[in-house]
Amino acid sequence: MPLPPAPAGVRVRHAFYRVADRLPGGARRIARGLEHPLDLAGLAPGLVRRRPDAVHVQWMPLGAVDRGFWRAVSALLGFPVVYTAHDALPNDPTPGRLRRAALNARAFDRVVVHSEHGRRALVDELGVDPDAVHVIPHGALTAFRDVAPVAPAVPDGPLVAMLGLIRPYKGLDVLLDAWPRVRAAVPDARLLVQGRVLGDPDGAARLERLAADPAAGVTADLRFTETAEFAGALLRADVVALPYRRIDQSGVLFAALALGRPIVASRVGGFAEVVEQTGAGRCVEPGDPAALAAALVEVLADPGRRAAMAAASRAAADGPFAWDAIAAATERLYAG
């Protein structure tokens, strides 16, 4: 979604990819790789001039280049560099990707992860110094509360929604395997899958076949959807499904919290730390269509329980996952 206006005391400077982002498709990706080292070097004069108390790095698209730059300027100018490992482990964990993730995380004295699961992964699997790893939760995406929603075109009935970019590790096949059991128990239930399906042409084709069958109760909107459409789908959903096989945390989860939606998710990554510990929903073992179906039916069939989960979801967004608390924890980390 677009960036909100910068609050008082915050200056936003768009320093990267000003040339590359004017180019189409594949050319943009190549140009970004070429432009990135130049844009990174362009930060140096401002860092020398301002001498910041800390720098917080969120992404390192060219790992070795980024690591080298930040370690060099940190040593030269004497400020700490904090790195957030948004995905503690790669979602497609090949040996090469695991090695790069380890090198990235070990390069800094202070590393932020969004869950205790992420902390254990960095320490136990990537060999990061445990004293360097700090858990600061992902914040609820409360900006969605200010979006004018566009409701999805789905028939009436209790709605399960799976939203966002859909990749193989997100478990679309598990949800589609579970769906006939859900419909057998809740005949008027509807399923909405909204978002582009990437890297899974068989899953996309299967989904489109189901959507073409009126008896299946499935709606497929396989476009890149705008912010207003995403917010509208969340608000229409009676349950948000996150049947992932692997993940640390998910932006869709924190958007669902912000809008007070009940959640049924796999017990992977840090999901249980959010969903079960706050009462915002149910978690089931990953890759188990029967367990997923049972949890969805349990929530769909009980309006009182859905209401309690919705209230817990919104309370979590305004409590432990509120940005004021996260900002305070981050500020303490900067101070050392």
- Computed over every residue of the chain, the mean pLDDT equals 94
Residue 6 has pLDDT above 80, yes or no: no
Residue 4 has pLDDT above 70, yes or no: no
- Determine the distance from the C-alpha atom of residue 320 to the mean position of all C-alpha atoms in its chain, rounded to a whole number: 17
HSE-up of residue 327 (Cα within 13 Å, Cβ side): 3
Q: What does the alpha-carbon distance between residue 261 and residue 255 come to, in Å, rounded to a whole number?
A: 9
Q: What does the alpha-carbon distance between residue 336 and residue 330 come to, in Å, rounded to a whole number?
A: 10
Residue 7 has pLDDT above 90, yes or no: no
Q: Percent of the chain scored above 70 by pLDDT?
A: 99
Q: Find the length of the chain.
A: 336
Give me the residues paired with residue 81 across strands: 55
CB atoms near residue 25 (< 10 Å):
7
User: pLDDT at position 218, please?
Assistant: 97
User: pLDDT at position 202, please?
Assistant: 92
Residue 146 has pLDDT above 80, yes or no: yes
* Per-residue confidence band for 219, with pLDDT thresholds at 50, 70 and 90: very high
What pLDDT, in 10s, does the model give residues 170-181? 999 999 999 999
Residue range 43-49: average pLDDT?
Answer: 93
Secondary structure (3-state) at 329: helix
Q: Which residues contact 86 (CB under 8 A, 6 or more apart)?
A: 58, 59, 114, 248, 249
Q: What does the alpha-carbon distance between residue 333 and residue 336 come to, in Å, rounded to a whole number?
A: 5
The helix or strand, by DSSP H or E, that contains position 207, with its residue range, turns out to be helix 201-211
Residue 2 has pLDDT above 70, yes or no: no
Residue range 83-102: average pLDDT?
Answer: 90
Residue 293 has pLDDT above 90, yes or no: yes
Residue range 132-160: average pLDDT?
Answer: 95
User: pLDDT at position 24, please?
Assistant: 84
Residue 1 has pLDDT above 60, yes or no: no
Query: Domains along the chain?
Result: 11-37 (no CATH), 53-135 (3.40.50.2000), 143-318 (3.40.50.2000)
User: pLDDT at position 3, please?
Assistant: 63
Residue 329 has pLDDT above 90, yes or no: yes
User: pLDDT at position 75, please?
Assistant: 92
Q: What does the alpha-carbon distance between residue 131 and residue 5 come to, in Å, rounded to a whole number?
A: 36
* Per-residue confidence band for 13, with pLDDT thresholds at 50, 70 and 90: confident
User: pLDDT at position 107, please?
Assistant: 92
Whether the Cβ atoms of residue 180 and residue 212 lie closer than 8 Å to each other: no
User: pLDDT at position 222, please?
Assistant: 93
Could you tell me the two tokens for 326? 């996260």
Residue type for position 80: P
User: pLDDT at position 49, please?
Assistant: 93
What pLDDT, in 10s, does the model give residues 254-281? 999 999 999 999 999 999 999 999 999 9
Q: What does the alpha-carbon distance between residue 86 and residue 90 come to, in Å, rounded to a whole number?
A: 10
Q: What does the alpha-carbon distance between residue 85 and residue 94 come to, in Å, rounded to a whole number?
A: 17
Whether the Cβ atoms of residue 280 and residue 316 lie closer than 8 Å to each other: yes
Residue range 130-151: average pLDDT?
Answer: 95
User: pLDDT at position 109, please?
Assistant: 86
Whether the Cβ atoms of residue 271 and residue 253 lie closer than 8 Å to each other: yes
Residue range 34-63: average pLDDT?
Answer: 93
Nearest of 117, 74, 83 to residue 103 by alpha carbon: 83
